[in-house]
Amino acid sequence: MTYTLGQIAAIVQGTIEGDAAAVITDIAEIQYAQPGQLSFIANPKYTKYLSTTAAEALLVAKDFEEKFKNLVRVENPNYAFSTLIARFRPSTPFPKPGIDPSAKIAKSAKLGQEIYIGPNVIISDQVTIGDHSILFGNTYFGAESQIGSSVIIYANVSIYHRCIIGDNCRIHSGTVIGSDGFGFVRTDTGISKIPQEGGVIIEEDVEIGANCAIDRGTLGNTVIGKGTKLDNLIQVAHNVKIGQYCFFAGQSGIAGSTQIKDGVTVAGQVGIAGHLTVGEGAMIAAQSGISKDVPPHTIMFGYPAQERHKAWRELANIRSIPDLKERLKTLENEITQLKQRT
């Protein structure tokens, strides 16, 4: 599939600087791009490849200041490039609607129109599956769970009883939704389990990566809001409430009953303690530990996490300790010498 640069600009609603008739045959990362291929720069650190890339043209932001033979200026290079990926590299077609003979489906289950159910899928009593959904092999659906329309659930996902998955969600392999929350109480005779009788609600347009664990609530529900995206290997504990359009990078964990408001961004390997509130639009840097409430639109960093500017000042002071130690040692020597003279 080929496009002219002019056609590319029309697709991404961009403006051209260069040859609109240049032919684009494929897309590639800037450091690997070859003649005839289109690439992009969204992060300034990739400008170092401008002098070595063989790319035919680049997608860049409107305020991009560097020079290149063919540029397409757009509002958001990341989004524009993702649009073109779908054009040049269409996804592998999903299976056609149908039910594999090895699937086990309860008589009381309600199945929508045009759905695919793969090998060894188990659908328990009173489960509902919406229209156009795709359930790959070895997935499990507990009693009374509800799966919306146009949902894609990849192989080896387990969805426990009374969980709700909204329309247009995508859940990747190995994820478990609705497992018991970590609720226990110490007694005179040992440790007693607290029953976990709530549920999980995943609102529409949520994507959950591979090998995540979303625990059910103790009495109420654990909730993941509309449009939120979870990376791989994320733990969401019981009764957590995550708002709409949040991002969570891999290996992050949220302890029980914490509330994450809309538009929050959490980087990788972040730990968030329980019973806290993370305000709307907050950002948490990688490997931070959140031990107290986070105000809205605050950037937090460190362990324990603090507002980023304060954390950076503390780090700068810590790094200056060796120099201060040497200066102090020099002053002590000078004082000793003065005392010896007197």
| Nearest Cα to Cα of residue 245 among 225, 231, 259, 222 | 225
Residue 29: Cβ-neighbour burial (10 angstroms; 0-12, 13-18, 19+): middle
Of 132, 238, 275, 309, the catalytic one is 238
Q: Is the peptide bond before 322 cis (omega within 30 degrees of 0)?
A: no
Helix ranges restricted to H, 20-172? 77-88
Active site residue 238: yes
Helix, strand or coil for residue 79?
Answer: helix
- What the block records as the tokens of 125 is 């009593």
Classify residue 227 as left (phi > 0), alpha (psi -120 to 50) or beta: left
Is the CB of residue 172 less than 8 Å from the CB of residue 208?
yes
> Which residues on adjacent β-strands are paired with residue 4?
23
The catalytic site residues sit at: 238
